[in-house]
Structures are given as structure tokens and as C-alpha cells.
Copies of this chain bind each other. A is one copy, B any other.
């Protein structure tokens, strides 16, 4: 079993005449005219092996026992394929290997699905048999791309003087943010570690420590109810730097992404990336992570319709809400009343009480609400939406947030349906000028829009006490094709500002001290101005690889219920283990 001389996918015409040793898996076996043909596969590709009784009767007989996915060790001679049998789809398609020796290294049961890029087996089965799923070339290519992505990032950041430093996984639980995964301590009964939601505190402490330029491809954890694009553990490209301005950090990130795009996709991406304020993004796209590869922008008609005869519109504006619309160019003929009813149901999910519509025809705007809008209003609408014959106009009148959510989602849905999106495009976009705080009405308190360590815009500082909702953050998000790749900010580096921030967030002095006292203490020992960014690696790879499922970029992902279907984690543990941790289970009885 020694001395492989070639990978399967790399035996080409250059090797004709050579005796080679190959190892791999049986992709397919065909018996034909007394000969046996085996497609032998390894991670580099496939090569055709021929068993010929005139060359080795023993090898041929052994080959008869071979089934799909058997592991073989083959010695043979590389020969040119006869004309007419050349396979132009294979890198190795001009040659074949005439087997002289065959060893069956290991056998294989029939796999529950075929090892091929295209598969219609359920994802649960793929996850349970992940080790077979991984043999599909498209999976291997995705992990190779993930490797190349981190390689490009490491190479770039190393060149910029960033040090790769590991931060702890067993850390302290802090209630702000998402729910922590907890780890009971055996040595300190009744106490717990928490798995980090990000290395935020540690990277800031390293800046206090004068490291100046830190990065880490860091594992992070959130015990949240999972959506399709979330995992309980995920990986972020975590960067922090001292003495850099926001501009310098954005430029650094842009150069990093240029390197990634070049090394991984062979693409030259223009920088600086487009920038857009949070307000502009919400206004034009109804989203803080807009996909700007296509139009269908939201147009504000509130002013135009506030005095119109259509009560739904005028009441919305009077109540402090908005009326906005998108113009679906040339789509009037494509959407029947029934189709529009379906769109109405779609926006209802986002809280919209209705979806008004008009079609632009040669004679003017037509549709159920046309009669409520007088000539002048209709003309203003036509002009603001640049409506032309054949256009479909869709309106939502509601609270500002509902209008944004509903039309933002509708815009994306229509963009996909109408194939308005250039899928080959990688459109990077910075969202800047975020609000520092968000007000949660139910709880009557402010939350940090990013996290409590984000630096407010200097001149807004006095408003922290008088008008917290208007304070802007020195924060920025990077968006790619409508996905949030990640974000960052400059950080607070003065104790008094950090104290004020905690106070605005509703911490008592004692709570702030007990949870983050060590950080505020650190700020008093000569802390440099610092800031950074964190980008989601899993999502980045998903977009680079053109996949739509985040789990396809993670070797051993978890399901929506945070289970590993392969190893069957989580699982029960012994009572001795619990006892050592001073814990007992407190299971609710199931309701009858």
C-alpha cells in the first residue's frame, strides 16, 4: 500500500508509457467484451483503469469482485486511449491505465446515495452520512475554496503586520447580546464558563496591551433558535487594530477582499467599494443589507398622497407612517390579479395590511385604487416612479418599519422571480452612519444596535443623555449581494464614555462594574484608540462558492435543532458526570 505515484485526476498524456501506482475509490465499473473498466476516483478527479486478461488474468479476476466505493490500490501502465474512446470531459480523458496489479484495500457496502454532484437525496441523509456526502466533488471543491479563502486572508493580514492570536473559548458569561452557551465548572461548583459570542472583549484587551494589529479566524457561539442561515457555532474573520481611522479600516478591509476575490475567484474587484448611509439604504431598499445588483428601488410617495382621496394612504401618513412604492418595469402583463393576491399574502408576512397596485397603461394608471386618486396625484405618482406603459406599481402604506420590511422583501422576491439579478456579479457595499442605539418598545429601553463597545460619533456624545436615539455610531457593515458579510466599528476607549454607554443601556453602576469592570479598569492604563471588523467566514465561502446553503460550507454542521445527525450530539451523560459538576437535571414533565 505504499508509494502512490500519481493522484487519479493528474494522470495525463505526459505520463504515457509510465508505470504508475494509484489509490482511490471505485466510481463505476463496466464489463465489456471480456474487459473490465473501472473509473477510479480520488479527490483530484477520475481516471479510467482497464483490466485485460492478456495483461493480467489475476488482476482481472480480482476486478470482478469490485463494487462501487471499494478502495483500490492499482499498479499499471499509462497508455493513450484509442481514437473514438477519448473523453473530452475528463482531464485524464486521453489516456487510460492498463492494470497489472490490483489490491482491494477495503470493501464498501452500497451507499445510500450515489456519489455525484447532482443528488436529490434529503439533506438529513446527507448529514447522517456526511462522510459519503463529502466524496461528492462539489463538496470537496467547496472546502478547497474555504481553505483558499482563509489562506488569502491570512496571507494579506500577515503582510499588513497583523498577528494571529488565539483567544479563549472558555470565557465569562455576559448577559448583553444573544444567549450564551454555558459550561459548568467542576473545580468551582455552581460556576460556569460561557462560550464566546465573539472575541470582542479579548481583542480590545489586546489593543490595550499594545498588540496594535490582531486577527483570528475565530470560532463563535450563539445559543439561538436557528434560522436556515445560522449555526450554533460559526466562524468569523476577526480583526482589530489600534490608531487607525474608520477610513483606514474600510480601506484595509477592501484590500483584503480584493485579495480574496483575486486568489479565490480570479476576479479583480474595484475599490473603494460603494458606500451608503443606513438611512439611505433603508429608504431606497427597505433593508440595511440591500442587494444593489438590481433596481426596483423604493420610492417615497408620502408627500404626494397624504391629501389624496384614498384613505388608506392619507391615514397612514397622518398616523406618522409612510406610503412607498416600487415600479416593476414592464411587468404589468406578467402579473394577473391572482398573482398580485399572492404578492399581497407575501407582504402580509411582514406585517403589511395590504398591497395596493396600479398598472400604467397608455391611457393612464389603471387598477382598483385609481378611482381614489385624482389626476394631479396620479401624475405626481407617475412622475416620481417614472412609470411608463406596461409598468406595474406596487404600494405599501403602513408604519415606516413595516413599509421597509414588506417592500424590501417584495423587491428581493420580484428581483429573483423576474431574473433581474446578474448572478455572476459580486457587489460589495458599505453601510455606514448607523444609529448607536435601538429602542425596544415592549421593554421600554435602548439596546446597542451593534454592541455596547461601539464608539458614538464624537459630536453626538452630549446627546447620549438627552436624545440617545439620535446618537450616531462610528460603525460600518459590509454587504455582499444582499448578505451582511459582517461589520465593525471604532470602539469606546475611555472609561467615562463606556460608563455612560452602560448607563444608557440600563445597567446599574454595580452591574456594569461586576460584568465589565475589568475592561473599564483596563481603559485607565493607557488605552489607544482602536477599532476593527468581523466578517462571517461561512457566509463568505457560501457566496464565493455559489452555494445557497450555509451548511454546505461547514464540514460537520448542525441541523435547525442544533443536532449533529452523524455523531448524534447532543446526548445524555452519566449521573456521575453530572454529580462531578454539582448539577442535577430539572426536566419538566411532558404535558399529557
- Residues of chain A touching chain B, judged by Cβ–Cβ distance below 8 Å, are 1-2, 4, 23, 25-26, 41-43, 69-71, 105-109, 111, 129-135, 140, 143-144, 146-147, 150-151, 154, 158, 163-173, 175, 179-195, 201-202, 205-206, 208-212, 219, 221, 223, 225, 232-233, 235, 242-243, 245, 247-248, 493-494, 518, 522-529, 554-556, 558, 561-564, 566-574, 577-588
A168, chain B: closest CB distance, angstroms = 5
Pair B169/A233 contact, Cβ less than 8 Å: yes
Closest 6 CB pairs of A and B: A134-B209, A108-B526, A69-B526, A172-B569, A191-B570, A131-B208
A332, chain B: closest CB distance, angstroms = 47
15 A-B residue pairs with Cβ-Cβ distance under 8 Å, sorted by A, are A1-B243, A71-B526, A106-B493, A106-B528, A132-B525, A134-B211, A147-B158, A166-B219, A166-B554, A168-B233, A169-B169, A170-B221, A173-B569, A191-B570, A582-B588
Task: Write out the residue numbers on chain B whose beta carbons fall within 8 Å of the beta carbon of A221.
Answer: 169-170
Given A185-B570, A193-B570, A202-B556, 18 additional A-B pairs, CB 8 A: A1-B245, A25-B526, A41-B210, A70-B526, A106-B529, A107-B524, A111-B525, A131-B522, A133-B209, A147-B163, A170-B558, A179-B186, A181-B183, A187-B561, A193-B569, A205-B556, A518-B568, A579-B586
Q: CB within 8 A of A562: which of B165, B187, B223, B554?
A: B187
Q: CB within 8 A of A158: which of B2, B151, B522, B555?
A: B151
Pair B577/A586 contact, Cβ less than 8 Å: no
User: In the bound complex, how far is the Cα of B106 from the Cα of A493, in angstroms?
Assistant: 9
Task: Write out the residue numbers on chain B whose beta carbons fall within 8 Å of the beta carbon of A189.
Answer: 585, 587-588
User: In the bound complex, how far is the Cα of B225 from the Cα of A206, in angstroms?
Assistant: 28
Pair B190/A585 contact, Cβ less than 8 Å: yes
Pair B555/A135 contact, Cβ less than 8 Å: no
A233, chain B: closest CB distance, angstroms = 6
A21, chain B: closest CB distance, angstroms = 10
Taking CB as reference atom, which chain B residue is nearest A519? B567
Taking CB as reference atom, which chain B residue is nearest A220? B169
User: In the bound complex, how far is the Cα of B523 from the Cα of A23, in angstroms?
Assistant: 17
Task: Write out the residue numbers on chain B whose beta carbons fall within 8 Å of the beta carbon of A248.
Answer: 2
User: In the bound complex, how far is the Cα of B526 from the Cα of A132, in angstroms?
Assistant: 9
Pair A182/B573 contact, Cβ less than 8 Å: yes
A43, chain B: closest CB distance, angstroms = 5
Given A586-B582, A588-B582; A105-B169 close (CB under 8 Å): no
User: In the bound complex, how far is the Cα of B191 from the Cα of A588, in angstroms?
Assistant: 14
User: In the bound complex, how far is the Cα of B173 from the Cα of A121, in angstroms?
Assistant: 29
Q: CB within 8 A of A43: which of B106, B211, B582?
A: B211
Task: Write out the residue numbers on chain B whose beta carbons fall within 8 Å of the beta carbon of A211.
Answer: 43, 134, 140, 143
Given A143-B211, A187-B562, A190-B572; A23-B131 close (CB under 8 Å): no
A33, chain B: closest CB distance, angstroms = 27
A159, chain B: closest CB distance, angstroms = 11
Pair A529/B105 contact, Cβ less than 8 Å: yes
Task: Write out the residue numbers on chain B whose beta carbons fall within 8 Å of the beta carbon of A525.
Answer: 69, 108-109, 111, 129, 131-132
Task: Write out the residue numbers on chain B whose beta carbons fall within 8 Å of the beta carbon of A568.
Answer: 172, 518
A384, chain B: closest CB distance, angstroms = 41
Pair B210/A25 contact, Cβ less than 8 Å: yes
Pair A572/B212 contact, Cβ less than 8 Å: no
Residue of A109, A243, A248, A529 with most partner-chain B CB within 10 A:
A243
Task: Write out the residue numbers on chain B whose beta carbons fall within 8 Å of the beta carbon of A185.
Answer: 562, 570
Residue of A205, A206, A245, A555 with most partner-chain B CB within 10 A:
A555
Taking CB as reference atom, which chain B residue is nearest A208? B131
Taking CB as reference atom, which chain B residue is nearest A139? B209
Q: CB within 8 A of A527: which of B106, B201, B558?
A: B106
Task: Write out the residue numbers on chain B whose beta carbons fall within 8 Å of the beta carbon of A172.
Answer: 564, 567-571
A574, chain B: closest CB distance, angstroms = 7
Pair A71/B527 contact, Cβ less than 8 Å: yes
User: In the bound complex, how far is the Cα of B173 from the Cα of A571, in angstroms?
Assistant: 7
A390, chain B: closest CB distance, angstroms = 50
Task: Write out the residue numbers on chain B whose beta carbons fall within 8 Å of the beta carbon of A146.
Answer: 164-165
User: In the bound complex, how far is the Cα of B412 from the Cα of A554, in angstroms?
Assistant: 46
User: In the bound complex, how far is the Cα of B573 from the Cα of A42, in angstroms?
Assistant: 50
User: In the bound complex, how far is the Cα of B577 from the Cα of A180, in angstroms?
Assistant: 9
A457, chain B: closest CB distance, angstroms = 15
A506, chain B: closest CB distance, angstroms = 15
User: In the bound complex, how far is the Cα of B562 from the Cα of A243, in angstroms?
Assistant: 34
Given A135-B210, A191-B571, A192-B570; A219-B586 close (CB under 8 Å): no
Pair A572/B528 contact, Cβ less than 8 Å: no
Taking CB as reference atom, which chain B residue is nearest A493? B106
Pair B223/A186 contact, Cβ less than 8 Å: yes
Pair B582/A212 contact, Cβ less than 8 Å: no
Task: Write out the residue numbers on chain B whose beta carbons fall within 8 Å of the beta carbon of A188.
Answer: 561-563, 570
Task: Write out the residue numbers on chain B whose beta carbons fall within 8 Å of the beta carbon of A219.
Answer: 166, 169, 219
